[in-house]
Amino acid sequence: MKFRRHALLLAAVFMIGPDFARISAQTAGQFQDFTLVLETPQTKYVEFQPIPLVITLKNATQKSLVGHSVLEFGASYLHLYIDTPDGPKEVPSSLMTLDMYGSARVFQPGEQIKETASLNFMLDKTFPNPGTYQLHVRFKSLDYKDTVTSKPIDLEIVKPDGLDAQALQFIRDHSDTTYFFTGRRAVKDAEQLKVLETFVAEYVDSSYGDDALFTLAEVQFALRDYAKARTNFEKLLKKPDYVFAAEVSDFLKMIEERTRVAERP
């Protein structure tokens, strides 16, 4: 099971298959023939709002292609870049370096894989001012010799107002915008956990609300406060078209499993 939204809890490990050369020999396409697509549900976000990123790797050719499935930020294959006047600059996209290795696999014509991640930390460094930014991703082959690059997407970062402005000021006054939505400090610091709980209680209806609620539920899960975590995850699951619904469902399944084990005589 992999949780792609945050690196707070889990990392998946894949082993490289011994038949990579044999698979490569059986297919005619090359890694560069893959299509890599970067998307996001919105084109406009308020300052320091976490940004969902949807990455799709697709074989849009009429032949089989050899690739792999480690579309994970923090691993050594997938990298995010922001375009600047001085050229592309890599964006920190994961709290930790993940020890992940991929197995070679054949993608049939039309086959694709899709992963969703959240760009949720160091946003104050990546998007320091309101304005329009361009992002793209690069994906490397297992041997790092070949790379496929997505077309850039435009993101507009806008200055918050109203409730959003109040919410952002609360974070600045009581926490750190760099790591607030990762939950990293709330896991280790009871005072920061209280800050996160207060933020959710007062600003859940702001543009930052869903991300803060997910972060709080994830922290509660990490602290084994399963009853509170379940309640908050269930709130998110009721939201229509919630982009991280799959991750929420996975957390709820794990809570049920752990609760059953704890209740056994």
Beta carbons of 106 and 66 less than 8 angstroms apart: yes
Task: Show contacts of 233-236: CB within 8 Å, 24+ apart.
Answer: 236/210
* Residue owning tokens 């109203």: 162
CA distance 60 to 111: 8
Does residue 72 register a pLDDT over 70? Answer: yes
- For the residues of 62-129, what is the DSSP string, one character each? SS-EEE-----BTBSSEEEEEEETTEEEEPP--SS--------EEEPTT-EEEEEEEE-SSHHHHS-S
> Which DSSP category does 149 fall into?
E
Does residue 125 register a pLDDT over 80? Answer: yes
Percent of the chain with pLDDT over 90: 72
List of residues 6+ apart from 18 with CB closer than 8 A: none
Does residue 260 register a pLDDT over 90? Answer: no
* Annotated domain spans of the chain: 20-158, 162-263
Beta carbons of 147 and 140 less than 8 angstroms apart: yes
Name the strand (E) or helix (H) holding 153.
strand 153-158
Band of pLDDT at residue 9, cut at 50, 70 and 90: very low
Beta carbons of 179 and 185 less than 8 angstroms apart: yes
Does residue 31 register a pLDDT over 90? Answer: yes
Residue 13 is predicted with a pLDDT of: 37
Residue 238 is predicted with a pLDDT of: 94
Whether domain 162-263 has CATH 1.25.40 = yes
Name the strand (E) or helix (H) holding 196.
helix 190-203
CA distance 221 to 251: 8
For the domain 20-158, what is the CATH superfamily, name and number?
Intracellular proteinase inhibitor BsuPI (2.60.40.2360)
Q: Do 20-158 and 162-263 have matching folds?
A: no
Does residue 2 register a pLDDT over 50? Answer: no
pTM of this structure: 0.85
Q: Give the pLDDT confidence of 180-224 residue by residue, as tens digits.
A: 999 999 999 999 999 999 999 999 999 999 999 999 999 999 999
Band of pLDDT at residue 233, cut at 50, 70 and 90: very high
Show the tokens assigned to 249: 């469902």
Show the tokens assigned to 152: 């850039």
Beta carbons of 179 and 211 less than 8 angstroms apart: no
CA distance 39 to 153: 7
Residue 34 is predicted with a pLDDT of: 97
Beta carbons of 223 and 187 less than 8 angstroms apart: yes
